[in-house]
Structure 1
């Protein structure tokens, strides 16, 4: 199991880079770089590539609406080149608020679009001429559109790797099934290693049944905050877990419309039906602190690694049993380097 972490898109980037450099020495394997509607992730990943030596650098995520499919492939090839084969391409659909509100692009067919992008990226990285006719991507531009001068092309340079790993940040239903079928890896949210089958089990099983064996086993990146200490029980553990309440309430309560919030659906599928409804009601009413207080303590405990070393070892075993290949952690405390070193020794 690899250790990974995600930097904060609204934090102090240069301070985060300095931390990544230190954590790389401590054994951190992967750093994920988000984008949302902040600074672009590509420039930051290129900077990280220059400042590090061994750590893998992944996008989490770049959306498939703001760049063309071949531009995404060029970007993957370019970042893999400057990092000397250390790039992971994390793709996702984002949501209509960002895609339509910030990028001015219709939020249409997100699942088929990601599948098309995966296909085009793999084709491009293999230096095949890009000739592709999918439900959302047609390359070259079809006859009768544009100038008529477009012709099939292949990428000029020889990519460092023709199999850059592609992870898909999917949430529900057919998208999760398609992830298990087509992607190298999966970037879920609110992953409870003992209960995730209640939310995604059927879809993962169905997708794996149709998966090309050449892709290998589906990789999974999941985890949460990590803090290790004999005194981290009861109120002390809860005080750390409480850090996750505002963001959880934001997703469960404020992302999407009242009747179409996938994060809320995930919480309900975990069995927290009343809590999910109450969180959303309070959040949409402007009672954000109240909404955060309603996030179930059990869910926070199950989706993070906070407690004595023995407890954290048990959680690591649960993640391994669930098939997690990349444990994504946020080391909480004054000495994250020591925390990562201790966690690494437990793997």
Structure 2
């Protein structure tokens, strides 16, 4: 299992000393670093800015929201950063959810899997640069169907450094995970737990079995962002993560459509998810955070003493994960690297 570092997305401002953290991650032999976006900072600018201080880390987006950019804009950004990084870029894409897609970007959300399939097909065609790009899909047409009639099929003026840039998919539901296994080069899970490994392995296997699959399980990557906190007191360590879980279970999405909540509920926490969501949506955030069980935190994160974390690592190594993307105190990277050695 490789190690990566999850920079994540900004809250009210940028995180401190990211160049120093990435320098330490490179020194320790980490494989990758990843940025995110929600509805504030974007994921590309920080990756290019901070990535310029690195030399070996793969640089990925986890995730770039598809609704934020047309397929052509995503392909342009991918080819640009791939050149600037010397061929180290990984394009992590995701559909996000209706709250963000319709509320922030003002675009329709329905049928995200079909949109994703078309989106990635166009990105691959642009990056391959085999000729002028033509695509006549349900959601995307190049040139646009029914416009002025003046649109012309175009080929990128930029010659890509690589005619195939790795594309990873953020996915949570079984159909979307299967789609990732079929059309992408890797999967970016969210709120992953070893308890759900068989569920996800089956979804991946379904995708690999399709005639159009690009990979087998042996060549496919699964890079999961996992909170890791080395701390002598498990309850105090869990307190650092409870707000994060409460936010995604209770506050990220509508009551009737919250894919993050569904992921946690599948782990056996249906009743707890209802309680957290009720409290969060009622504005009682502190109570919602307190309602997150420590057992749930331990299912989703590696927390506690070095000995406890080391004992628990075996069950994570037995999962479909190929890279664990560390979320946590940058000052603990050395200690974390030692535990994984």
How far did residue 173 of structure 1 move?
3.5
Across the two proteins, how many residue pairs are aligned to each other? 336
Aligned-partner Cα distance in 2 for 1:289–1:18: 33
Aligned-partner Cα distance in 2 for 1:208–1:28: 28
Match of 1:250 in 2: 247
SS of residue paired to 2:67: coil
Aligned-partner Cα distance in 2 for 1:341–1:328: 12
Aligned-partner Cα distance in 2 for 1:256–1:238: 27
How far did residue 325 of structure 1 move?
1.0
How far did residue 90 of structure 1 move?
0.7
SS of residue paired to 1:329: strand
Aligned-partner Cα distance in 1 for 2:16–2:271: 42
Match of 1:47 in 2: 49
Aligned-partner Cα distance in 2 for 1:214–1:184: 7
1:15 aligns with 2:11: no
SS of residue paired to 2:195: coil
- 1:307-346 alignment, distance < 5 Å: 307-332=304-329, 335-344=331-340, 346=341
1:2 aligns with 2:2: yes
Aligned-partner Cα distance in 2 for 1:298–1:152: 55
TM-aligned CA distance change 1:127 to 1:206, over 3 Å: same
After TM superposition, the runs of 4+ consecutive aligned structure 1 residues lying more than 6 A away are none
- Residues 183 and 213 of structure 2 are in contact (CA less than 8 Å); yes or no, is this contact kept in structure 1? no
Match of 1:94 in 2: 96
| Residue in structure 2 matching 1:31, options 15, 30, 33 | 33
Gap regions ≥5 residues in structure 2: none
Aligned-partner Cα distance in 1 for 2:206–2:281: 35
Output the TM-score relative to the length of structure 2: 0.91
Deviation string, structure 1 residues 165-218 (Cα, Å, up to 9, x no partner): 1111112142222112111111111111133334x4543232122165643433
How far did residue 13 of structure 1 move?
4.0
Deviation string, structure 1 residues 244-282 (Cα, Å, up to 9, x no partner): 101101111122222222222222211112111111111
1:281 aligns with 2:278: yes
- Residues 226 and 327 of structure 2 are in contact (CA less than 8 Å); yes or no, is this contact kept in structure 1? yes
- Residues 194 and 318 of structure 1 are in contact (CA less than 8 Å); yes or no, is this contact kept in structure 2? no
- Residues 18 and 50 of structure 2 are in contact (CA less than 8 Å); yes or no, is this contact kept in structure 1? no
| Residue in structure 2 matching 1:241, options 238, 241, 252 | 238
Gap regions ≥5 residues in structure 1: none
Match of 1:138 in 2: 141
SS of residue paired to 1:195: helix
1:154 aligns with 2:155: yes
- 1:157-236 alignment, distance < 5 Å: 157-198=158-199, 200-210=200-210, 212=212, 214-217=214-217, 218-228=220-230, 232=232, 236=233
SS of residue paired to 2:129: coil
1:299 aligns with 2:296: yes
Aligned-partner Cα distance in 1 for 2:216–2:337: 29
